[in-house]
Amino acid sequence: MMAASASGTVTPTTDATIGTPRLTIGINLGDQHSHLCVLDGKGAILEESRLQTKPAAFRQRFAGLPPARIAIEAGTHSPWANALLRELGHEVLVANPRKVRAAVPLVAPTGSSR
């Protein structure tokens, strides 16, 4: 899991209840497909993939994972995605996309949705 300090520095953290690193997952919710990036407790990328933006696909993908911190952008699909992921035991952060883009440095080339 990653935590941001007041200075904006991102550092790995652990699940306080078990003392082991948790996964951090970012999901870009799209109308047809959603893209996800899974980070380990040290911030290394474990997976980049996509899945259908449907409750059944989300349930199948995230039901078997240990509790993770999952960040999604506020939007059309965020209410049901938030509720479903919380139901599966995950911590969900719903972010305002305008504020996230201002706080996170651009990594992908301009025009890319990654």
- Alpha-carbon distance of 43 to 10, in angstroms, equals 9
Q: How far is CA 106 from CA 29, 31, 66, in A?
A: 18, 23, 30
pLDDT value for 98: 75
For the domain bounded by 21-103, which CATH number is listed? 3.30.420.40
- Rounded mean pLDDT for each run of 10 residues along the chain, 114 residues in total: 40 51 91 95 93 98 95 94 97 84 52 48
pLDDT at 103: 52
Q: Could you tell me the residue ranges of all domains in the chain?
A: 21-103
According to the model, what pLDDT value does residue 96 have? Answer: 85
Residue-level pLDDT at 91: 95
Instruction: Tell me what pLDDT residue 22 has.
Output: 87
Q: What is the pLDDT of residue 102?
A: 58
pLDDT at 104: 54
Three-class SS of the chain: CEEECCCCCEEECEECCCCEECCEEEEECCCCEEEEEEECCCCCEEEEEEEECCHHHHHHHHCCCCCCEEEEECCCCHHHHHHHHHHCCCEEEEECHHHHHHHCCCCCCCCCCC
pTM equals 0.72
